[in-house]
């Protein structure tokens, strides 16, 4: 079942250029079986994918052998240790070199893989990614960007940061805006994204001073970076159609994300209760079955599973820890789309250009 990297390269030359993704197979709550199942789903839909799968070979090889469609597509990197959800980031940096997570990130650093996907400990993954991949020049704080289901014609909005760092000053928020614009272009094919800055109201006088300063910085970069700044937006605009990119700090973004996930789960539970209340309601559910399935798909968080670590020298996608095969498949597909578009290189150029423009503006003012 396992093949070497050279053999994968031979397959790429034979069947067209294959994009190799690095998968941490040991980080999820559902175990490696769910991750291998997600890999299998992605491979079935996309013949241009190959994988380096990280974890104990004794565990992974039997699981991969059961998936006939993965024959010749996966190389197993045999590493014995696993980063636990309870491990502290500082601890994993000291003793995590033999873990599946470290090995998965290292494959991106070495250029063997175009992107890394992991369901593991978010703090540990960010710490390892920052240490091994390093931040892009000009980036103060990396951010986690996600796709949020919305009323827009694209079906999703980009929101960042959702938990990489609870702090963010005006310059950080500007960088988040630029990274979000690049993500929207490459992840959603939005040619000229609309950017909104999350605040407690849309009025110009509301919010903290750093938000007002960030708003001026973002507006000042809009023309050069070819996006539209729509000003302050509120929480209700996150799933709305006013902005394609929602910019905020990691504390606020993470609270919004977890609240949204909890609300979607609550709606699903309440709908089940309502339609199971009586024989008549069960009959109504049967009549509305097609519409209910469609609603479930639209609010299913697994469909948009995957937060992208933005601002690093490489693409890392953080899948939800509880992701099943469907969720892992979604995260892998996101990593593939970004790798295929050359997202990491484009983002680096965007940040470099904005840093140069900002330095020139400061020089002219002084």
Identify which has the larger pLDDT, 330 or 207. 330
Domain that residue 196 falls in: 140-304
Instruction: Compute the mean pLDDT over every residue in the chain, rounded to the nearest whole number.
Output: 84
- Where a domain ends, among 287, 304, 321? 304
> What's residue 99's pLDDT?
94
For residue 61, give the CATH number of its domain.
Answer: 3.40.50.10950
Whether 359 and 281 map to the same domain: the answer is no
> What's residue 43's pLDDT?
93
Average pLDDT over residues 50-70: 94
Taking a C-beta distance cutoff of 8 angstroms, is the pair 225, 351 a contact?
A: no
As for how many domains the chain has, the answer is: 2
pLDDT in tens, 10-37: 433 333 478 999 999 998 888 899 999 9
Average pLDDT over residues 123-135: 91
pLDDT of residue 361 exceeding 80: no
Structure-token pair, residue 158: 């980009």
Whether 263 and 349 map to the same domain: the answer is no
Helix (H, G, I), strand (E, B) or coil at 104: helix
What is the C-alpha radius of gyration for the chain, rounded to an integer number of angstroms? 21
Average pLDDT over residues 295-312: 71
Whether 196 and 245 map to the same domain: the answer is yes
d(CA 306, CA 83): 19
Whether 210 and 240 map to the same domain: the answer is yes
pLDDT in tens, 249-259: 999 998 988 88
pLDDT in tens, 284-298: 777 776 766 666 666
d(CA 202, CA 188): 26
> What's residue 55's pLDDT?
94
pLDDT of residue 239 exceeding 80: yes
Whether 150 and 282 map to the same domain: the answer is yes
Whether 85 and 168 map to the same domain: the answer is no
Average pLDDT over residues 120-138: 90
> What's residue 366's pLDDT?
45
Whether 108 and 11 map to the same domain: the answer is yes
pLDDT in tens, 73-124: 999 999 999 998 888 888 888 888 999 999 999 999 999 999 999 998 888 9
Q: Please tell me the least confidently modeled range out of 41-50, 64-73, 230-239, 268-277.
A: 268-277
Helix, strand and coil in the chain, % to nearest 5? 55, 15, 30
Read off the pLDDT band of 364 (50, 70, 90): low
Whether 199 and 294 map to the same domain: the answer is yes
d(CA 168, CA 166): 7
d(CA 39, CA 70): 8
- 112: phi then psi, degrees, rounded to nearest 5: -75, -30
Angle, alpha carbons 75-76-77 (nearest 5°): 115
Measuring CA to CA, which residue among 81, 156, 327 is closest to residue 319? Answer: 327
């Amino acid at each position: 079942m396992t093949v070497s990297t050279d053999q994968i390269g031979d397959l790429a030359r034979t069947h067209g250029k294959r994009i190799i993704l690095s998968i941490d197979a040991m980080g999820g709550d559902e175990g490696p079986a769910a991750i291998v199942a997600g890999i299998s789903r992605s491979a079935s839909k996309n013949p241009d994918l190959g994988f380096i799968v990280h974890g104990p070979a004794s565990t992974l090889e039997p699981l991969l052998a059961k998936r006939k469609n993965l024959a010749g597509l996966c190389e197993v990197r045999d590493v014995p240790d696993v980063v636990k959800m309870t491990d502290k980031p500082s601890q994993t940096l000291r003793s995590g070199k033999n873990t599946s997570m470290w090995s998965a990130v290292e494959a991106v650093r070495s250029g063997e893989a175009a992107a890394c996907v992991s369901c593991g400990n978010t703090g540990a993954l960010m710490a390892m990614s920052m240490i091994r991949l390093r931040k892009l020049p000009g980036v103060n704080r990396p951010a986690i960007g996600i796709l949020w289901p919305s009323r827009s014609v694209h079906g999703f909005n980009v929101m960042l940061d959702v938990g990489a760092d609870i702090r963010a000053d005006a310059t950080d928020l500007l960088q988040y805006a630029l990274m979000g614009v690049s993500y929207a272009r490459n992840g959603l094919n939005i040619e000229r994204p609309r950017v909104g800055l999350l605040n407690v109201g849309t009025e110009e006088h509301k919010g903290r001073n750093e938000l007002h300063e960030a708003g001026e910085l973002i507006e000042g970069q809009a023309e050069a970076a070819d996006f539209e700044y729509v000003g302050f937006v509120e929480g209700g605009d996150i799933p709305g159609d006013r902005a394609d990119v929602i910019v905020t700090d990691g504390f606020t973004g993470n609270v919004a994300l977890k609240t949204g996930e909890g609300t979607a789960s609550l709606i699903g539970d309440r709908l089940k209760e309502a339609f199971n209340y009586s024989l008549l309601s069960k009959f109504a559910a049967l009549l509305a079955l097609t519409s209910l399935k469609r609603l479930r798909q639209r609010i299913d968080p697994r469909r948009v599973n995957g937060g992208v670590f933005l601002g690093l020298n490489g693409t890392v996608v953080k899948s939800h820890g509880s992701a099943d095969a469907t969720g892992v498949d979604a995260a892998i597909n996101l990593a593939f789309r970004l790798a295929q578009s050359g997202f990491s290189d484009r983002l680096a150029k965007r940040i470099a250009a904005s840093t140069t423009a900002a330095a020139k503006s400061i020089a002219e003012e002084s």
